[in-house]
Amino acid sequence: MYNDLTDNHPTHAQLLVSQLTHKGKSDRIGGTQSVTARLHLDTFCMIEAMAEQAGLPRTQIMNQLLGAGIDVVSAELPNKDRLAIEENAAKMLRDMAMAQVKEASQ
């Protein structure tokens, strides 16, 4: 779901590093979901420092960091667990997209 390491797409971590070192940029088009979370103060400060270094919004940095973390954890999961999680996430995404289509048509 996130990055098949057998293809030529950069990982979330590679994209973030390129942004922090000003050697690349990334644009993403797609839906978003607002989520409230409490962060440890040291984590928050690292995110803020990364956003400042890259000249990017905090949300973009957080999405790249979460994507990188998901990539790493997914790679460590047994295949059946990874597939189950990916299938569940895909179902959630389909359900949310269908709800938006239904809402837009009313």
Look at the chain and report how many structural domains it folds into: 1
- For residues 92-104, give the mean pLDDT: 91
Phi, psi of 36 (to 5 degrees): -95, 130
- Examine residue 59 and state whether it is found in any structural domain, yes or no: yes
Decide if pLDDT at 54 tops 70. yes
pLDDT tens by residue, 3-49 = 444 567 888 898 889 989 988 776 666 788 899 999 999 999 999 99
- Examine residue 1 and state whether it is found in any structural domain, yes or no: no
- For residues 70-93, give the mean pLDDT: 96
The residue range of the domain holding 100 is 12-26+35-105
Residue 78, both tokens: 């047994």
Phi, psi of 2 (to 5 degrees): -90, -70
- Examine residue 5 and state whether it is found in any structural domain, yes or no: no
Confidence of residue 1 (pLDDT cuts 50, 70, 90): very low
- Examine residue 71 and state whether it is found in any structural domain, yes or no: yes
Confidence of residue 73 (pLDDT cuts 50, 70, 90): very high
- Examine residue 87 and state whether it is found in any structural domain, yes or no: yes
Decide if pLDDT at 90 tops 90. yes
- Examine residue 7 and state whether it is found in any structural domain, yes or no: no
**pLDDT, averaged across the chain:** 89
Q: Are 86 and 1 in contact (CB under 8 A)?
A: yes
- The predicted pLDDT at position 7 comes to 63
- Examine residue 2 and state whether it is found in any structural domain, yes or no: no
